Amino acid sequence: MRKKIVGVIGGRECKGEVEQLAQDLGIKLAKVVDILVCGGLNGTMEAVSKGFKAGGGSTIGIIPGYNKKDANKFTDIVIPTGLGLARNVLVVKTADVVVALPGGAGTLSEIAYCLQFGIPVVSLQSWDIRGVIKIKTVDEAIKQIKLLLKENKL
Amino acid sequence: MRKKIVGVIGGRECKGEVEQLAQDLGIKLAKVVDILVCGGLNGTMEAVSKGFKAGGGSTIGIIPGYNKKDANKFTDIVIPTGLGLARNVLVVKTADVVVALPGGAGTLSEIAYCLQFGIPVVSLQSWDIRGVIKIKTVDEAIKQIKLLLKENKL
Amino acid sequence: MRKKIVGVIGGRECKGEVEQLAQDLGIKLAKVVDILVCGGLNGTMEAVSKGFKAGGGSTIGIIPGYNKKDANKFTDIVIPTGLGLARNVLVVKTADVVVALPGGAGTLSEIAYCLQFGIPVVSLQSWDIRGVIKIKTVDEAIKQIKLLLKENKL
Amino acid sequence: MRKKIVGVIGGRECKGEVEQLAQDLGIKLAKVVDILVCGGLNGTMEAVSKGFKAGGGSTIGIIPGYNKKDANKFTDIVIPTGLGLARNVLVVKTADVVVALPGGAGTLSEIAYCLQFGIPVVSLQSWDIRGVIKIKTVDEAIKQIKLLLKENKL
C-alpha cells in the first residue's frame, strides 16, 4: 500500500521560537506519518526535517535548483527540479495533507495551491486565509493531521 | 527597446459586473501598454483580452495545457506550456506590472508570486494581502499602472 | 486569425559559418512567417533572432532563468520561465514548425520533443535522427517550411 | 549519508523480451542501489519497478499528471508533477546514474538531458547516441552501474 506523505511549508528564515516549533512539529509528525515532503532548503524546511528524522521518519526535499548539495543534511531523497519557484506546486501536490508554518509570500503561494488542489492545509501560526484550518499549537496540529489522514482516501 | 508588458490575473469564471470590469480594464490598459499577458483561458482572461484587443493591443496567453485551441480567441500568441498550475509563475514573471481582478486560490497564488518576485501588483477589487496596491476603480488602476511603468526600469 | 510561429533551435555557441547560416536563415524565414520563437539566449539563438529582426519579423525568447536581461537584444518578447532546461519543451511546443541548426545535447532534447509532439522538424546540418527532415541549405529549408505551413492546420 | 539513486528510462509500451529485460534489470539493480527513480507509469516503467521491488528496493515515480493513481502499483513514492513532458528533466536529474532501455522520442529526450547534465547513461539495447555507454546484457549493465557509482561522488 502506498505510504502517506505529510507536507510542511514555511519561511526560509526561521529562528528561536519558530525554529523550535518546526523541530517539535517534525518530531511529533514522524509518529503519525512515514514520509515528510518539503522544499528541502534551510530555515523552516531544515528544522522540520531535522525533527522528522529525529522522530524516525524519512524525508523528501523538492528543491528549486539542480544541485543536490543545496538540500539540507536532513534530506534523504533530493528531487533537484531546476524549476525555481514553480517547484512549490510539486511540494504541496506530493503531500496528502499540509502543515503551514509562519512564512512569507512563498508560503502563501503554497497555501493557495493547496486550496486550489483541495489538499487540506493546517495553518500553525501561519497565514489566515479562507479555507485553511487555523491551529495554535503543535499538539492540536497533530490531532488535526491524524483526523485528516483517516478521512483522506489516497 | 524592449516593450512593456502588463499582466492581468483573475478568476476562471467571471460574469456580469466583473466581466464588464475586466473588459473595460483591457480597453483602457491598451492605451498605456503595448502587450498584455494572461493565462489565456476563459473568464477574466477572455474578457480582459477581448478589451485589450479592442483597445488596439497585442495579447499573449500562457496556458496550462498543450493544446493551442484551449486559448480564447482574443489571444495573438499562445504559449502552450503543458505545465498545469506551475504556469502561473510564468504569467506573472513575464509581466512588468500586474493587475489582479477578483478570483480564487489561483489568483491568490499569482499574487503571492508577484510579491515574492517584487513585481508590483494592483488589486482591483481582488485579494487584500499585505504588499498589494488596493484600488477600487479601473481609472485608478490605470493611473497606478502609468506611475509604476514610469518607475519600473525594465 | 492566429499567427504562425516558427521555432529555431541550435547550440549556445555558434561561430563563423554556422553563425552566418543562422543569420541568413533568420532573414529568409521572416519572409514566410511573422513570429520566431527560440531559447532567447546567445549563439545560434542570437544569430537567428538578429536575422529574423533584420528581415522584419517579431521574436519571442523563452529563457531558462528569471532575468529578462539574459535575453539577447534581438528579442522582442521575453518569457522568463525560471524552469531551467525544462523550458526546452515550451520553445518547441510554441512553434508550428521547427528548424534545427547544429547543436549538442540541448538541441537533441528539443528535436526529441518535436518528434514526441508530432511537430515537424527540419534538420539543417544538425542531428540525423529518424523522423527529422534532413536538409542541406537555407533555401531548401525555406522551401520545406513553406510546404509544412501550408499543410499545418493550426 | 545520502542514498544513491538509479534512474531507468524506456518506452511506455514494452512487451515480451523487453518486458523481461526490464524486470530482470530491476531485480539485479536492487542488489546494488537502494532507490530507483523512473517516470512512474506503465510499460518499461512498471516492469522495472516491479523487478526493483521484488529485489527489495524502494521506488520513486515522477509522473506527468496530477493524479497519484496514474502511477503503477510498484511505486512507493509518487511525485505528481502536473508538468507533462517537462517532468523528464526531473526523472534523470534525480538519478546519479541512468540506464536507458528501448524507447522512442521520450526516451531520447531523457538521454539528451543526461548528456547535457553530465549524468552517466548506460544504453541497454537503446538509442546509440555519442556519449552513452553501449551495453548488450543486463549483467554488463549492472557491472557498469557498480563502476559508475564507485566513481560518482554524490
Q: A–C: how many Cβ contacts below 8 A?
A: 18
Helix (H, G, I), strand (E, B) or coil at A109: helix
Q: With 70 as the cut, is the pLDDT of residue D153 above it? A: no
With beta carbons less than 8 A apart as the criterion, state whether D126 and D107 touch: yes
Chain C residues whose CB is inside 8 A of the D104 CB are 115-116
Chain C residues whose CB is inside 8 A of the A85 CB are 82
Q: How many angstroms separate the CA atoms of A84 and D65, rounded? A: 19
Q: How many angstroms separate the CA atoms of C27 and C23, rounded? A: 6
pTM over 0.90: yes
Chains that touch A (3 or more CB pairs under 8 A): B, C, D
Chain B nearest C-alpha distance from C47 (Å): 18
Residue D70 Ramachandran class (φ > 0 left, ψ -120 to 50 alpha, else beta): alpha
Strand partners, C9: C100
Q: How many angstroms separate the CA atoms of C101 and C90, rounded? A: 18
Residue whose grid cell is 516492469: D47
Residue D95 C-alpha cell reads as: 538519478
The predicted-structure confidence for C101-129, as pLDDT tens digits, reads as follows 999 999 999 999 999 999 999 999 999 99
Chain D nearest C-alpha distance from C31 (Å): 31
With beta carbons less than 8 A apart as the criterion, state whether B11 and B103 touch: yes
Chain B residues whose CB is inside 8 A of the C66 CB are 93, 117
With beta carbons less than 8 A apart as the criterion, state whether B88 and B79 touch: no
The predicted-structure confidence for A7-61, as pLDDT tens digits, reads as follows 999 999 888 999 999 999 999 999 999 999 999 999 999 999 999 999 999 999 9
The predicted-structure confidence for B73-124, as pLDDT tens digits, reads as follows 999 999 999 999 999 999 999 999 999 999 999 999 999 999 999 999 999 9
Q: With 80 as the cut, is the pLDDT of residue A2 above it? A: no
Strand partners, A58: A35
Looking at residue A151, what is its pLDDT?
Answer: 81
CA D90 to chain centre: 12
- Average pLDDT across chain D, whole number: 95
Residue C75 C-alpha cell reads as: 528579442
Helix (H) / strand (E) containing C90: helix C87-94
Q: Give the gyration radius of chain D's Cα atoms.
A: 14
Backbone φ and ψ of B9, nearest 5°? -125, 160
With beta carbons less than 8 A apart as the criterion, state whether B3 and B32 touch: no
Decide: residue C31, CB within 10 A, 0-12 exposed, 13-18 middle, 19+ buried. exposed
Chain A residues whose CB is inside 8 A of the C106 CB are none
Q: With 70 as the cut, is the pLDDT of residue B153 above it? A: no
Looking at residue B95, what is its pLDDT?
Answer: 98
Which chain A residue shows the shortest CA-CA distance from D89? Answer: A81
Query: Nearest CB to B3: which of C76, C79, C80?
Result: C76
Q: What is the DSSP string of B4-66?
A: PEEEEE--S---HHHHHHHHHHHHHHTTT-SEEEE--SSTHHHHHHHHHHHTT-EEEEEESSS
Query: Nearest CB to A109: which of B90, B104, B113?
Result: B113
- Average pLDDT across chain B, whole number: 95
Q: With 90 as the cut, is the pLDDT of residue D88 above it? A: yes
Residue B29 C-alpha cell reads as: 490598459
Q: With 70 as the cut, is the pLDDT of residue A153 above it? A: no
Q: Give the gyration radius of chain C's Cα atoms.
A: 14
Chain A residues whose CB is inside 8 A of the C81 CB are 84
Strand partners, B38: B61
Helix (H, G, I), strand (E, B) or coil at A137: coil
Residue D132 banded pLDDT, cuts 50, 70, 90:
very high
Q: C–D: how many Cβ contacts below 8 A?
A: 51
Which chain B residue shows the shortest CA-CA distance from D85? Answer: B82
Helix (H, G, I), strand (E, B) or coil at C89: helix
CB contact under 8 A, A85 and B131: no
Helix (H) / strand (E) containing A58: strand A58-63
Looking at residue D2, what is its pLDDT?
Answer: 74
The conformation of residue D22, written as its DSSP 8-state character, comes to H
Query: Nearest CB to C94: which of B3, B79, B83?
Result: B79
A16 Cβ contact list (under 8 Å, min separation 6): none
Using CA atoms in the order B74, B75, B80, B84, what is the torsion angle rounded to 10 degrees? -60
Residue C151 banded pLDDT, cuts 50, 70, 90:
confident
Chain B residues whose CB is inside 8 A of the D83 CB are 82-84, 86
Q: HSE (CB half, 13 Å, CA atoms) of A149?
A: 21
Nearest of B59, B25, B24, B63 to residue B41 by alpha carbon:
B63
